[in-house]
A and B are shown apart, each in its own frame.
Chain A
């Protein structure tokens, strides 16, 4: 098994900055994404974050399952809100016709506007978080969170679950093959589902045992013993971190000033055509 976590070793600027710097980045982008109520700004933020991800982890940024999942979520929001959002009043025109489905109603421009706004907001936050976990060693993730005041045990738990998921996955495969070898043959979906039941017990038992061993092994090797463990790869708070944090904060301040001067920059009440969604008419 190659990757036990989402972490992708590499040499990008994000791999070398302090884990707290990246947390500041997450915070700034999350606030910015939710500051205004229109799809344009979250879309721009999402694209920026996507570019940052590509810089950090190259093709992994686009090919991993999570990025795909977020794109599907955007699509899902677009459809669901389009049909059901209570703000909807202007029917959207598809090739000259409005689109109505029974029980849900008519697809509206306001719904699409709302769905896209939310979809892009969530994708922005999710992708900036992905940037954090894919460029930060799991141990550093936990140390960073503990430094920020997260209870130590909670950090420990996150670390364990990060590691347990892929291991359990493989264990499940082993147990399935063992049970097939003992003559368990599934002919249809129902039988497949039934065969999962005997899988569950050994899986839970071995996961619990493994968790106990992990906890003991980490404890015996001094994990969490001092507040200042030796940094093996010199990840220090450097000029680089200060530049990243400063730019993120400047961006955030500009965003806040504009927000208080010009409001939420929403044009949901002036939608006449598809084009209006991305630019006020």
Chain B
């Protein structure tokens, strides 16, 4: 399997800041993976996202050590606009990332900025509107849509630059449960059907546990846990000490495990189906 994104011993400090926002991060994400990142406030999750698409070091000064490779390209050597071909970044605030008068223009904006020929842009925009199922809104103003729809427009507009990696920084934190479900479903489909590598920072641990292949737990600029959801969420004390939640199913599993020793060394279940299956087998 090819590596999509690699962090080689990366440390970073924002300008005028004493503390390191990232401390010796080593990370390899392979193509087609769905990685969920969790961690308390100020853990460095957003900083990691900014480093992944080159905003750090190109738009933020400060001290960056180590190297970051996107599709084998060192991010120091290309600008964020060029890296957009390889990695797209979606932010939490749906409105702040939208700037155009219609959904169609919004999706076309990125490729147009790169000077891609018109016919090619027209094709790409139609494709992206279809992939995210937002064709019906093409002539509406992005500012009149629901939060979930706005996030899908934002996703379509970064994908229009044809990256193979999609990084999402808390894309559902401003959304209601319905918008959250819409965004998760759309991202999951892109991951499964288009084989797009997904890296998603989220506090919705339940949904993340259900969809992600791999969970990374960060705190104080470091990666503390990294593995399949069932293994990461086994470390209940470590995670809960930082004030973070774990999926409820996992909590139940932990109690059962303590009382009856059901799971031994196996990973904990993270979804209701998994719990049910485990209980039936015992």
Chain A contacts to B: CB under 8 angstroms: 1-2, 4, 7, 9, 137-139, 159, 163, 167, 209-211, 213-226, 228-232
Contact = CB atoms under 8 A, between A and B. Distances in A.
B150 interface: no
6 contacts: A217-B99, A221-B84, A225-B79, A229-B113, A231-B118, A232-B121
Given A216-B55, A232-B105, A221 B117 contact: no
Contacts of A231: 112, 118
B81 A230 contact: no
Contacts of A4: 141, 143
A107 B123 CA distance: 68
7 closest A-B pairs by beta carbon, nearest first, are A222-B113, A222-B81, A217-B97, A213-B96, A221-B110, A225-B81, A230-B112
A213 B93 contact: yes
Contacts of A221: 81, 84, 109-110, 113, 157-158, 161
A137 B113 contact: no
Nearest to B117: A230
Given A221-B109, A221-B113, A221-B161, A214 B59 contact: no
B96 A230 contact: no
Interface of B: 50, 53, 55, 59, 79-82, 84, 88-89, 91-93, 95-97, 99-101, 105, 108-118, 121, 141, 143-144, 157-158, 161
Contacts of A1: 143-144
A218 B53 CA distance: 13
A180 to B, nearest CB: 21
A104 B80 CA distance: 62
A139 B79 CA distance: 21
Contacts of B117: 230
B121 A220 contact: no
B114 A222 contact: yes
Contacts of B79: 225
Contacts of B115: 225-226, 228-230
Contacts of A217: 89, 91, 96-97, 99
Contacts of B110: 221-222
A221 to B, nearest CB: 4
A223 B98 CA distance: 12
Contacts of A215: 59
Contacts of B109: 139, 221, 223
Contacts of B143: 1-2, 4
Contacts of A218: 99
Nearest to B55: A216
Nearest to A213: B96
Given A211-B96, A222-B113, A222-B114, 18 more contacts: A7-B101, A163-B99, A213-B92, A214-B96, A216-B55, A216-B89, A217-B89, A217-B97, A219-B81, A220-B80, A220-B89, A221-B81, A222-B84, A224-B113, A225-B113, A226-B113, A230-B111, A230-B115
A219 B96 contact: no
A196 to B, nearest CB: 23
B146 to A, nearest CB: 13
Contact of B114 (A139, A226, A232): A226
Given A220-B158, A221-B157, A222-B81, A230 B118 contact: yes
A210 B98 CA distance: 11
B126 to A, nearest CB: 14
Given A1-B143, A230-B121, A214 B158 contact: no
B91 A216 contact: yes
A213 to B, nearest CB: 4
Contacts of B158: 220-221
A146 B121 CA distance: 24
B118 A232 contact: yes
B144 to A, nearest CB: 7
Contact of A220 (B55, B93, B95): B55
Nearest to B87: A220
A213 B110 CA distance: 16
